[in-house]
Chains A and B, each alone.
Chain A
Amino acid sequence: MIVLDSIHKSYVTGTNSLHVLKGIDLEIGAGEFVSVMGSSGSGKSTLLNILGILDDYDSGSYVLNGKKIKGLNETKAAMLRNEMIGFVFQSFNLISFKNARENVALPLYYQKVSRRKRNVIAMEYLDRMGLKDWADHLPSELSGGQKQRVAIARALISNPKVILADEPTGALDTVTSFEVMDILKEVNDQGITVIIVTHEHDIASMTRKIIRLRDGIIAEVIVNGDLQLYRDRVLAE
């Protein structure tokens, strides 16, 4: 699904150049559930943005679903994002003047799906998130967890192959975080690749694979199995 081969990325600000990613080699198969960890500034978001075609990289190669991603123009990038990738952000990034249903339906609007049809589909997804009764509410009338569930519904509505989530639980309390993770797990169970960035070990422990970044390279990859016990203990408290 995702193949990265010695990806390099530097940020140039004025005369300074900051080398953030220093050769990332990574392979993520279809249906994997992966978390990216690492200290602040280690390049997690940078990596996720490259995966999401929100940002370009300097050298190396990135192949998404058999398609080489490099130097795409904005229209092509937008189309690929629309059909391949669903984004979930730490701060939800819902559009404040649109209600939950309209927010969820937005990606279909860009696919030029008719208004009636996309509203029906949006309601289905909201229902799956247990938010049917909140369809007409504005984001400001929803709790953090509800907002994130709306955002997940929005990410899912265009049937993406990959869900990219940058600290999806960063703004939520523990219980709500676990609810959100449960939903992401369900999503993953349907065969969609899910990649999240997180700081929290118990969140990471709910994924199947942990990629630890340090100083712009992959320090270690932990295939999860034993940590499952850790998760159960946290939930029991």
Chain B
Amino acid sequence: MFDIDRWNEIWHALTKNKVRSLLTAFGVFWGIFMLIIMSGASNGLKNGIVEGVAKFATNSAFIWTDRTSEPYKGFTRGRYWLFNSDDLVYLKANVPEMEFLTPKNFGQFGAANNVIRGRLSGSYNVKGDYPDYVKIDPYTIVYGRWINEMDIRDRRKVCVIGEKVYETLFEANEDPLGEYLKISGVYYQVVGVIRPETRVNINGRAEESVFLPFTTMQQTFNMGDQVHFLAFTAKKGVPVSVVEEKVKTILKKRHSISPTDTQALQSVNIEKQFQQISGLFLGIGILTWIVGIGTLMAGVIGVSNIMLVIVRERTKEIGVQRALGARPSTIISQIMLESVVLTTVAGYIGLSLGVGLLELVNKALEMQAKGGDEIFFRHPEVNLNIALASLAVLVIAGLFAGSIPAKRALSIKPIEALREE
């Protein structure tokens, strides 16, 4: 194996016709390169989306109201309606499969310059929230804290602001805690600054939102006991859809909505969405491998072909070697080794270039991400296992490609190879 003569033979055989060897090697190179790039790209897409929602509670669902579409119990269709605070109490008491239930209210969407601090102002989404909400969609605390139970109970006039809000209304590194913001005409004390950990946005981006205690918002925005939006999670082992159905049935009953009305209650089941996305990525992954392996196979067949040509060209030489006492095993291993070297070297170059390119793309993407851009394509990397697996595939493919020419070489009788033309 590490005999210099053997490498000498290989080198000679492959360099005798450089262009042909290069073209053949290119087939394998391209196969593995494409495989790496494609699986990197599909990983990148997956990471982009999965990272965006990774920390989000997957066992959650959201629900909100819309106009009714069916007349029921004396009400006409087209009725506007909302949840109320009593619903919360009732649901908590009657749906034991539910883990967290948090309501959310929204201020007027897109109100101009509704948040003011001294001479600075901005237009932000105002949301009323519960402490438990961060258990569904987690936030990183940059300053201070998130809304707590005391805020809710005492309807305190405090607020938590998104990072972008802080950057606009405060000096860099200025301590925002204890400062006051005027929001739609009322002053609130800043108790925290948050940065979202996911890219799931409900009614606008979290970093550009101002969060008030839910009960405070109901009061100061004159919402009475209205509730706009519910988010909940299921207990371990219970599918969210079960909880979702129960919640819907209860709410419809409590608000005299027809059980068959599909428009009046809108919902998103994150669990189902996740499953769909996972299915999609599984599909992309399988496709990647089918196409990649196909390309690789074409390259390998090319190698096999060229080895056949090499064997034919060297018929006489092989005959001489056998007359001099080369055993069949020596000839076979020689040809196999040539084929493996050709595929592995070409494949390794493809592998390195593919990984290198992905690395460059990754760097560029990270720079963009640091700039705060929304990117749905991240870390297009290929894991080590795949890289090692493809190297193994290459070696095996090389052996496979060499086996047919090796068989051909063996079938040449020394006497026939030696016959003078």
Residues of A bordering B, CB below 8 Å: 49, 52, 54-55, 74-75, 78-79, 81-83, 87, 89-91, 93, 95-98, 102, 106-107, 109-111, 115, 154, 158
Contact = CB atoms under 8 A, between A and B. Distances in A.
Contacts, number: 65
Contact of A110 (B12, B330, B410, B420): B330
12 contacts: A54-B413, A54-B415, A78-B327, A83-B325, A93-B316, A93-B418, A98-B8, A106-B321, A107-B324, A110-B321, A110-B325, A110-B330
A231 to B, nearest CB: 27
Interface in B290-339: 316-317, 320-330
A54 B418 contact: yes
Residue from the set B12, B324, B330, B410 with the largest chain A CB neighbour count within 10 Å: B324
A75 B327 contact: yes
Interface string B1-36: 001110010001000100000000000000000000
Contacts of B3: 109, 115
B328 A75 contact: yes
Nearest to B323: A87
A95 B320 contact: yes
Contacts of A98: 8
B162 interface: no
A127 to B, nearest CB: 21
Q: Which 8 residue pairs across A and B have the least CB separation, nearest first?
A: A82-B325, A54-B415, A110-B325, A78-B327, A93-B320, A97-B12, A55-B415, A74-B328
Given A83-B325, A93-B323, 15 more contacts: A54-B413, A54-B414, A78-B328, A81-B324, A81-B325, A82-B325, A95-B317, A95-B320, A96-B317, A107-B324, A107-B325, A109-B3, A109-B5, A110-B321, A110-B327
Contacts of A158: 325
Contacts of B8: 98
B329 A75 contact: yes
Contact of B325 (A79, A91, A93, A95): A79
Contacts of A75: 327-329
Given A54-B414, A55-B415, A78 B325 contact: yes
Contacts of A55: 413, 415
Given A54-B414, A107-B325, A110-B326, A115 B4 contact: yes
A111 B5 contact: no
Nearest to A78: B327
Nearest to A115: B4
A98 B320 CA distance: 13
B313 to A, nearest CB: 11
Contacts of A49: 415
Contacts of B413: 54-55
Contacts of B317: 95-96
Contact of B324 (A87, A91, A102): A87
A91 B420 CA distance: 8
A106 B318 CA distance: 12
Contacts of A52: 323
Contacts of B414: 54
Interface string B231-245: 000000000000000
A54 B323 contact: yes
B324 A110 contact: yes
Contacts of A95: 317, 320-321
A82 B4 contact: no
A52 B323 CA distance: 8
Interface in B382-421: 410, 413-415, 418, 420
Nearest to B5: A109
A17 to B, nearest CB: 18
Contact of A79 (B323, B327, B418, B420): B327
Contacts of A115: 3-5
Nearest to A91: B420
A90 B419 CA distance: 10
Interface string B112-124: 0000000000000
Contact of B418 (A78, A89, A106): A89
B324 A82 contact: yes
B415 A78 contact: no
B325 A111 contact: yes
Contacts of B410: 74
Contacts of B4: 115
A74 B327 contact: yes
Nearest to B314: A95
A95 B271 CA distance: 70
A154 B415 CA distance: 18
A78 B414 CA distance: 10
A100 B56 CA distance: 74
Nearest to B326: A110
A37 B98 CA distance: 105
B417 to A, nearest CB: 10
A95 B4 CA distance: 16
A34 B353 CA distance: 64
A107 B323 CA distance: 9
Residue from the set A83, A91, A110, A115 with the largest chain B CB neighbour count within 10 Å: A110
A158 B329 CA distance: 20
Contacts of A78: 322, 325-328
A81 B323 contact: yes
Contacts of B12: 97
B201 to A, nearest CB: 69
A228 B16 CA distance: 49
Contacts of B316: 93
A91 B12 CA distance: 22
